[in-house]
């Protein structure tokens, strides 16, 4: 039961980022709350598939790097010589900034497989290679969803 709750907390924001990516490219989609998955309702090009797959990892990874960048930028201005003295004397907000950045970076890691497959698909498209069977599966998922829905 606890794993299901954890999946809900992690999976829903990830699915909402996929939903936002579909909205940004103007494609129709539906959010399946039971499986925390977004399903396309229209065929997509390989570049659109790659964008939708990579979007959550890029957004959360960029957010994490931004927070950690602020932390790193403010570290020398704080005057801490070593990390040992940092944890003993640092301001609480600065320590919280570090841990928030690490938490967001860990969450960004949940989308690393989507980032991998999206980059792989995008590189194959840029090299003009023929579609792979897995790509056909991705394009036909909306047809399977429609037939299952009836």
144 has pLDDT over 50:
no
pLDDT of residue 21: 93
Domains in the chain: boundaries: 2-132
pLDDT single digits (tens) 61-102: 999 999 999 999 988 777 666 777 777 778 888 889 999 999
pLDDT of residue 62: 94
43 or 79, higher pLDDT: 43
Distance CA 74, CA 76 (A): 6
pLDDT single digits (tens) 1-21: 555 566 666 778 888 898 999
For residues 141 and 40, is the Cβ–Cβ distance under 8 A?
yes
Return the structure tokens found at 68.
Answer: 């950690």
Instruction: Annotate the chain with DSSP letters as a single string.
Output: -HHHHHHHHHHHHHHHHHHHHHHHHT--EEEETTTTEEEESS---HHHHHHHHHHHHHHHHHHHHHHHHHHHHHHHHHT--SHHHHHHHS-HHHHHHHHHHHHHHHHHGGGHHHHHHHHHHHHHHHTTPPPPHHHHHHHHHHHHHHHHH-
pLDDT of residue 2: 58
Model confidence band, residue 39 (pLDDT cutoffs 50, 70, 90): confident
29-32 and 37-40 strand pairing: antiparallel
Instruction: Annotate 76-112 with DSSP letters as a single string.
Output: HHHT--SHHHHHHHS-HHHHHHHHHHHHHHHHHGGGH
Distance CA 100, CA 94 (A): 10
pLDDT single digits (tens) 113-133: 888 888 888 888 888 776 665
């Amino acid at each position: 039961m606890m794993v299901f709750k954890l999946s809900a907390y992690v999976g829903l924001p990830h699915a909402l980022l996929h939903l936002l990516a579909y909205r940004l490219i103007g494609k129709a989609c539906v959010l399946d709350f039971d499986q925390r998955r977004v399903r396309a309702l229209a065929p997509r090009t390989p570049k659109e598939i790659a964008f939708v797959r990579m979007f959550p990892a890029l957004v959360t990874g960029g957010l994490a790097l931004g927070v950690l960048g602020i932390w790193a930028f403010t570290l020398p201005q704080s005057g801490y010589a070593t990390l040992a003295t940092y944890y003993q004397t640092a301001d609480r907000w600065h320590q919280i900034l570090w841990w928030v950045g690490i938490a967001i970076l860990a969450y960004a890691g949940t989308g690393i497989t989507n980032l991998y497959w999206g980059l792989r698909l995008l590189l194959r498209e840029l090299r003009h290679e023929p579609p792979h069977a897995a790509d056909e599966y991705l394009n036909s998922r909306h047809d399977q969803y429609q037939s299952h829905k009836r």
